[in-house]
Amino acid sequence: MTSYLGVIGGSGLYQIDGLQHPEWVTVDTPWGAPSDQILTGMLGDTYMAFLPRHGRGHVHSPSTVPYRANIDALKRIGATDIVSVSACGSFREDMAPGDFVIVDQFIDRTFAREKSFFGQGCVAHVSVAHPTCPRLGAACAEAARAAGVTVHDSGTYLAMEGPQFSTLAESKMYRDSWGADVIGMTNMPEAKLAREAELCYASVAMITDYDSWHPDHGEVDVTQIIATLLGNAGKARDMVARLPALLGSEDRGPCQHGCDRALEHAILTAPD
Ligand code: ADE
């Protein structure tokens, strides 16, 4: 199977540079409409699909993003790999605003979202012990470094419901007791759903702030986040543009990490 790269862009990533034959297409799903139309096209020999997570014009809040429809729409269009790009706060001094973190673990504190494709008529329990695809994450790290970004190869992402930012007590608890490295509002249930859909998933956290724990930095606010994002948007687009060459357009066979076979031993309901 060749890679068909789906990119879910968060705040700060709204387009793909150099896309050939670009076309916005409407995709319907049994889970409703995705956040927006999907921009399809080719980069070199690689099929690409880009979905703005919050919709053009930023109309979906983290709690109202139609996560199931987004993942299903990308699967229906043919995506094999999903790279999720999102703005995040940092709990680590050395993960500074402007750096990118290749997330490989999550703590899911969201509570007001549909989190599974399963449960009515068909029950499945997939493993998300290792929720991201190492091959795809490594490609993102290499592409981001080539784009001039300081990259951290691993990190634990605390997914919060929002839309408010954390209290100081929460921020300190996530950092000191729970060992989280970055915080954001959107990667869950996205990562869980990608696994249920048997898609390779990598998450690139673009650090915009130190949340509220850092004694030398003020409280986080949207103006600060947008200023850092604007500085970084070009690098995020550069990273995406470099991915096809790294992923290759040749047949890559089954995923070495089993992402594309996640349901093999996961379905409990007896077949009809
Ligand atoms: N997105 C960007 N910065 C964030 C923060 N500090 N908390 C949650 N989501 C964020």
Q: What is the pLDDT of residue 200?
A: 97
Active site residue 36: no
Contact (CB, 8 A) for 189 and 114: yes
CA of residue 77 to ligand 1 center, whole Å:
30
At residue 248 the predicted structure's pLDDT band, cuts being 50, 70 and 90, is: confident
ipTM score assigned to the predicted complex = 0.99
At residue 33 the predicted structure's pLDDT band, cuts being 50, 70 and 90, is: very high
- Give 112-139 pLDDT, tens digit per residue: 999 999 998 899 999 999 999 999 999 9
Tokens for 4, please give them: 């068909």
Query: Residue 180 contacts by C-beta under 8 Å, 6 or more apart in sequence?
Result: 91, 107, 156, 157, 158, 174
How far is it, in rounded angstroms, from Cα 173 to Cα 139?
32
Q: What is the pLDDT of residue 83?
A: 98
Pocket mutation for ligand 1, best pick of 190, 220, 222, 224 (most atoms within 8 Å of C-beta): 220
Q: What is the pLDDT of residue 19?
A: 93
Q: What is the pLDDT of residue 1?
A: 73
Does the structure show a pLDDT above 80 at 97? yes
CA of residue 180 to ligand 1 center, whole Å:
13
Q: What is the pLDDT of residue 267?
A: 85
- Atom 2, ligand 1: which residue's CA is nearest? 88
Pocket mutation for ligand 1, best pick of 54, 183, 207, 219 (most atoms within 8 Å of C-beta): 183
Contact (CB, 8 A) for 262 and 196: yes
Q: What is the pLDDT of residue 261?
A: 96
- Give 144-198 pLDDT, tens digit per residue: 999 999 999 999 999 999 999 999 999 999 999 999 999 999 999 999 999 999 9
For ligand 1, is residue 158 a contact (CB within 6 Å)? no
For ligand 1, is residue 88 a contact (CB within 6 Å)? yes
Catalytic residue among 104, 108, 181, 209: 209
Tokens for 105, please give them: 């673990």
Q: What is the pLDDT of residue 14?
A: 73
- Atom 8, ligand 1: which residue's CA is nearest? 184
Which atom of ligand 1 is least distant from the CA of 184?
9
For ligand 1, is residue 184 a contact (CB within 6 Å)? yes
Instruction: Give the burial string for 74-97 (b: 16+ CB within 10 Å, else e).
Output: bbebebbbbbbbbbbbbbbeebeb
The letter for the amino acid at 107 is: I
How far is it, in rounded angstroms, from Cα 157 to Cα 101?
9
CA of residue 246 to ligand 1 center, whole Å:
29
Active site residue 209: yes
CA of residue 10 to ligand 1 center, whole Å:
12
- Give 36-61 pLDDT, tens digit per residue: 999 999 999 999 999 999 999 999 99
Who has greater pLDDT, 265 or 81? 81
